[in-house]
Every structure is written in C-alpha cells, then in structure tokens.
A and B are shown apart, each in its own frame.
Chain A
Amino acid sequence: MNELVFFINNVVIAGSVTGAIYAIGAIGVTLVFSIMRFAHFAHADIMTFGAFMVLVLTTAFPSVGMSIGVPTALVMLPVAMVITACLAVGIDKAFYKPLRAHGVKPIVMVIASLGVTLILQGMIRLFSGTGGQGLYVDDRKAIFRMLPFENVRVPIVITEPQIYLFAITLVAVIALHLFLSRSRLGKAMRAMSDNPELAQASGINTNTIVAVTWVIAGGLAAIAGTLLSLDVTFKPDLSFFLLLPIFAAAIVGGVGHPFGAVAGGFVVAFAETLAVFNWGVFLRPFRDSLPTWLELPSNLAFVGTEYKIVVPFFILVAILIWRPTGIFKGKVI
C-alpha cells in the first residue's frame, strides 16, 4: 500500500496540480489565438509577471493575510490580476494594435510577441533578481498529511496552496464557461472568433472584444503564475518551463477551444508525471519472489526528471501527426 500512496502523491496530486496550472495558462493562449489569430508567445511571461506582482505586493504588506487566515499572496492575487490585465491591454495597445492596423500576417505578430517575451523577461529580472523567492513571506505554508489506510506509514501529502489551486481553477473554468455561453459579451467574443467581418457588420465593436480578451487572458495568467509560484517558488525564468507545456496543451486540446485547453493541460501534465514516475516502486513488493540474478534498478522511469520538459514536445509531435486539430477539433470558441 505504501506504493499506492507514493503513486497518489507523485502522479495523481502532482499531475493535477501541474495540470490545473497548464490548463489556466493554455486557456489564455487559446483565447488570444481564437480572437486575434496568432500564437502569443509572451503569454508565459505574462504569467511570470502576475506572480511577480504578487511577490512585490506580498513583500510590501506581508501580514495582511494573517488577520483573515488566508496566505497574504492570495489576498494580493486580485490586485495582481488587475495589474496584469492592464499590462496585457497595454502591451496590445503598444505593440500588437499598430501591427493589426497595418493588416500584417500572423507570423509578424508571433515575432512581435517573441520581442515582448524578451522585454518582459528582462524587466522582471531587472527588478526581482535572478534567484528564486518564496511567495510565503510572513506566513507559513500549511501542509496536510493524511493517513487514509490502516497499517500504512506513508501519508498522502497535500499542501495549502494546492487546495487553493484546485478551488480557484474550478471557479475560473466555470466562470469562463458561464461568461462565454450566457453573457452577450461572451457571445460576441464567440461571434468574433467565428467570423470577425460579420461580427463587425453586426455592430460588434471588435476593439472592445480584443480588450476584453486581453483582460481575461491577463487575469488568468496572473492566477496561473501565482499558483505555480505558491506551490514551488517564484523565479524570473518560470516562463521557460511553462511556454512549451501550455502551447502543447492548447494544441492538444484544439486551438481556440477553452475546454480543450483544460483537457489538454491535464493530458500534458499527466503525461509528464507518468513519464518521470519511478515505476520500479510497484515491483518492490515482489522483490523476494524475483530470481536472485535479477536486480531491481533503483529508478525505473520512462525519462529522467531532468528531461521532463521534452514530454510535451513528444505529445505535440504525436498530436500534430495523428490529430492536427486537437482533441476537440478547435477552430472557434
């Protein structure tokens, strides 16, 4: 049973945590793509920026959360979401809107977004330094250990930020669904992703829709970046480890499809955790019945942890060969 708990800790919980973060990131990528039709490479850095804002605010007011019993970083998250949303709208106004006005090809927008990536990475590094910093400044990270099985000494471990992560992801996805399916503005967004020309001829202000898209993408990016930093630590190069997985998630789910992005996020995350999981632990109970010449290797994973980043790449290749439009056949929201 120790092995099962090990599996739950290292695959089920770890995979869900990473999956939720990838999912929220990939929703932003997929929304931006469906409205503006380009791959926004700076998205992962907007996530880093959101987390950095939380770090700055938490460092400035470290004890706000104590009075209400929530980590300070989470209290600061809404403020950081607003700032990040403003940043996303500002970046669009400064860099992408002039290009759109010239009617450039999507590839030009993609390259512009690479430029924005470099700008953001440089700026964040300039102010945060290069090292990692925890988002728990004054408060302590609560860790829950559960012993659900009798005679099992190893506990199932789940941390406070992970619980918040699941709750916030669930709320964000449901809220987005209601927004897109019920509200007029959400429907206008779907309309624009379907046929921008007709949307405009139907009196939909496409500038408003673009701005709303950036607000949602920016806000969600701040959530994802912050929750990741809460779970581990804040680093200025977080985006480096996020970019490939979230794009893989968006493509796996079907670009332009928000729920595809959620599914894609979990597919990529579980593929990663299953690939680096040490399957040897399941053989350990049988060690005594194995022939003596067969020595169990200490690690029996598909790839080493340090190669985790290549897993999404393999999934991407496979999806692009066998199902290029993704699980949900994405095109419009």
Chain B
Amino acid sequence: MTPLIDVQQVNKAFGGLQVIDNCSIRVEKGSITGMIGPNGAGKSTLFNLMAGALSPDSGRILLEGEDITALSADQRFHKGLLRTFQIAHEFSQMSALENLMMVPPQQAGENLFTAWLKPGLVRREEAEVHRRALEVIDFIGLHHVRNELAGNLSGGQKKLLELGRTMMTNAKIVLLDEIAAGVNRTLLGDLISNIERLNREMGYTFLVIEHDMDMIARLCDPVIVLAQGQVMVEGHIEDIQNNPDVIDAYFGAGAA
C-alpha cells in the first residue's frame, strides 16, 4: 500500500548546518505516528518541510503517491495536509469562532468572481461554515470563550484552537507539533481522546511531535526517533524506550 506521506531522502541546511540529513520517513494511512528526538534533532524543520513552510535542498515529498515537493503551504492544505504550530498561532484580532471560520478550503467566497457573481452560494456556504465552527468549538470545549479575541486566550486554549482548526475541514493527515506542551492535565486528557476519536471516526492520520512520553505511549504506534536530522530507529514505543542508542541520544553517551 502506498504510504500517506512518503518523505524521500530529504536534505535541508541552514547556512553550514545540515539540519535534515538525507532523511526518509513514511507515515501509513490511518496511523497515529509519533516523532520524538532530542532538541535540535530537526523534528520541527521536518514538519516545516512536509507542510511547505520550507522547501528542501533536495529530495521529494509524496502525499498518497503524488509529488507535492513543489507545492506551496496553502496548496498542500487544499490537498488535505494540515499542520499545527509548536508555538500556538492564532489570528489575534479575531474571535475564537472567527479563527475557526477562516479555515475551510474550497470556499466560493475566496474566489473573486464567485464572490460577486454568486452571492447566494457564498452566503449558504458561510452559514454552513458557521454551523461547523460551532460544532467544532463545542467539541474542543471552548464554547464559553468563542467570542473572545483569540489573542486573549490562554496558551492551552490556543493549542485546542489549533486542533480545532484541523477539524474544520476533511484532512487526510494532520501534523501536530507539540500540541500538548503548555496544556494542563485535564485538558490534555480531552485532547488525547479527541485525537483518538478523529483517528477512529473520521479516518484522520496523525503525525505527532511530542516530548511527553506518556502521551506518546498512549497514542502513538509506530514511533520514529529522529536524531541529528536522520531517522535513528522506528518501531513500537516499548522497543524504543529500551533501545540503548535512543537512551544515548537523549542523555548522551555514558548515561545509565
């Protein structure tokens, strides 16, 4: 079966620093794949390359067998490749609900001509988007702050909003960049069960960068370990936790 995401021998250097070094990873359809690695391993850079925020120096990225290396971030979005940001991004001057309503793809209103020629269609779509945004904001438990400016939300709430964004449209794969960081424990439980539900019920595939090992253990299979811009090992979480190379990479050689 073709993997959903297939990163083939990708390289990326910043100045003289080879951040991603001939790295290849695959994410299978329907999986919740975890990605861990020490700081500076290149996890976020790899995400940026996959999402189109950066372009690789060499190598290819395939989505369901289709080469998307040359596509821009917004084009990849419309192909069903969504991402969240490590440091939560929001449209600070819009309400939480408006933030969600910014998302949906293939909107008639974004095309200048349909906006003028088919106002009825645009209005119907807008109503549909509004209804969907209300559902999503209930789902992520932010109903009570829906009219608050997103810039005023707490860090954890912004993270939930990031997850909510990915639910506004039918994604094939969602890249979650440390979605749990800064989210309190109660919210974290909700977050994990939401991710599982999206995976099970809506067929979302997830690629998850996370430092929280409990969350990785509960959620992800398989897990990819990245170190110095390359895949070190890949496999089930228990095998990885006992892998001496991984322990080395995290704690340095000589650590017990």
Contact = CB atoms under 8 A, between A and B. Distances in A.
Interface residues of A, number: 23
A200 B74 contact: yes
B51 interface: yes
A82 to B, nearest CB: 14
A117 to B, nearest CB: 29
Interface in B31-78: 51-53, 72-75, 77-78
Contact of B115 (A185, A191, A201, A205): A185
Interface in B165-199: 165, 169
A198 B115 contact: no
B238 interface: no
Contacts of A187: 98, 102
A190 to B, nearest CB: 7
Contacts, number: 80
Contact of A197 (B89, B94, B112, B122): B89
B228 interface: no
Interface in B61-118: 72-75, 77-78, 82-83, 85, 89-94, 98, 102-105, 107, 109-110, 112, 115
A332 B85 contact: no
Contact of A206 (B74, B102, B122): B74
Contacts of A201: 51, 53, 73-74, 77, 82-83, 85, 89
A69 B150 CA distance: 51
B85 A194 contact: no
Contact of A190 (B51, B52, B93, B105): B93
A202 interface: yes
A188 B110 contact: yes
Interface in A109-154: none
Interface in A171-220: 183-185, 187-188, 190-191, 194-195, 197-208, 212
Interface string A211-252: 010000000000000000000000000000000000000000
10 contacts: A184-B110, A185-B109, A188-B102, A191-B94, A197-B89, A198-B89, A199-B102, A201-B53, A201-B83, A203-B105
